[in-house]
């Protein structure tokens, strides 16, 4: 692949003098321009489904900081909504969904073939972004991994330990597996359409992978991700895929080979030097500065940023946070991080 885009070069396995950089949740509430656009939209879901405004908030951190990639502004719970789940957001508390607890709940979901009617505005956002992004900026599409999406659909909300989903996978395994299959097939179609619309990379977010242990991790984190990547590679063989099994710990080792991912994103609970030795040996890694540095700043931010860049300097690396930037972050600390990565 011949390209001048730094992110695509890293994903192709190239070791660069300076790693490309972007941030998870880089379009978000820490930016005053985002808050203004969200107010204009009326609420979060209206913002997600308004292609012009969703493209605008995706572009805002690119204009401000010049990141090497823009990630589509959307939400991992739009797919469950497209499958027929009720979805709404409670101010200050986050998402709520209708609850699925048994086979009848799975059976009540709509067909995977019908998701695009709901999700067409998301694909239009992608098309707008491909026209408006700077030539050097890579466009990333994304979806939630099936396990993480299932935890919300089963509990009806985010939970600290994903206990309702664990209870269903143990107590009603056939219904749970049927739900996972429906989400997996929907995710393949959703990401494929994002790529058709112009996404150059896609990322699979498994935010709650860390609560799966042992064989459960293999079955419900690795296997669905492998299925999604395998299907996408048949349709889009040249599109790189990033996988993020957050808090996977030792399960990060071999994850790229087991799933076919072109890059493994790392959370900040693992040490960069350890990850360079055990994970980066299989290809590109992404990460993994602690998000708290975007709040606290200072010399600690500079020191930890330099240490991560150095640890991963002998292989392909995309600099990022270990999780999403938080609403209380200081935009000036984001600039300090970027300057440190690019200027040493």
3-class SS string, 237-291: CCCCEEEEECCCHHHHCCHHHHHCCCEEECCCCCCHHHHHHHCHHHCEEEEEECC
Rg for the chain, CA atoms, rounded: 19
Q: Single out the catalytic residue among 9, 25, 169, 292.
A: 25
38 is catalytic: yes
- DSSP state letter for 113: G
Q: Single out the catalytic residue among 38, 64, 157, 342.
A: 38
127 is catalytic: no
Burial class (CB in 10 A: 0-12, 13-18, 19+), 223: middle
152 is catalytic: yes
29 is catalytic: yes
Q: Single out the catalytic residue among 29, 35, 127, 342.
A: 29
* CA–CA dist 257, 253 (Å, integer): 9
177 is catalytic: no
Which of 62, 241, 70, 234 has the alpha carbon at shortest distance from 140? Answer: 70
Q: Single out the catalytic residue among 30, 49, 68, 75.
A: 75
Q: Single out the catalytic residue among 30, 123, 152, 190.
A: 152
Q: Are 182 and 100 in contact (CB under 8 A)?
A: no
Scan for tokens 């349709």, then name that residue: 235
Residues classed as catalytic = 25, 29, 38, 75, 152
């Amino acid at each position: 692949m011949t390209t001048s885009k730094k992110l695509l070069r890293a994903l192709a396995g190239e070791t660069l003098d300076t790693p490309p950089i972007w941030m998870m949740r880089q379009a978000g509430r820490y930016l005053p321009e985002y808050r203004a656009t969200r107010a204009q939209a009326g609420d979060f879901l209206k913002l997600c489904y308004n292609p012009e405004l969703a493209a605008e908030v995706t572009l805002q951190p690119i204009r401000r900081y010049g990141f090497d990639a823009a990630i589509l502004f959307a939400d991992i719970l739009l797919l469950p909504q497209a499958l027929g789940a009720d979805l709404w957001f409670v101010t200050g508390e986050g998402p709520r969904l209708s609850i699925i607890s048994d086979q009848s709940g799975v059976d009540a979901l709509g067909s995977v073939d019908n998701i695009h009617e709901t999700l067409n505005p998301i694909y239009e956002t992608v098309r707008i972004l491909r026209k408006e992004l700077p030539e050097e900026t890579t466009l990333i599409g994304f979806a939630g991994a099936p396990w993480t999406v299932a935890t919300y659909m089963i509990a009806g909300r985010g939970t600290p330990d994903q206990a309702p989903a664990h209870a269903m996978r143990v107590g009603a395994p056939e219904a749970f597996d049927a739900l996972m299959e429906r989400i997996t097939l929907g995710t393949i179609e959703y990401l494929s359409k994002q790529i058709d619309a112009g996404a150059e990379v896609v990322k699979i977010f498994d935010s709650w992978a860390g609560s799966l242990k042992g064989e459960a991790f293999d079955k419900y984190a690795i296997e669905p991700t492998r299925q999604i990547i395998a299907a996408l590679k048949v349709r889009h063989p040249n599109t790189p895929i990033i996988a993020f099994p957050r808090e996977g710990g030792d399960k990060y080792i071999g994850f790229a080979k087991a799933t076919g991912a072109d890059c493994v994103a790392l959370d900040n609970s693992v040490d960069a030097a350890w990850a360079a030795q055990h994970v980066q040996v299989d290809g590109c890694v992404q990460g993994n500065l602690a998000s708290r540095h975007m709040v606290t700043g200072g010399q600690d931010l500079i020191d930890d940023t330099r240490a991560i860049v150095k640890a991963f300097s002998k292989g392909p690396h995309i600099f990022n946070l270990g999780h999403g930037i938080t609403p209380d972050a200081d935009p000036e600390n984001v600039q300090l991080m970027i300057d440190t990565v690019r200027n040493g």
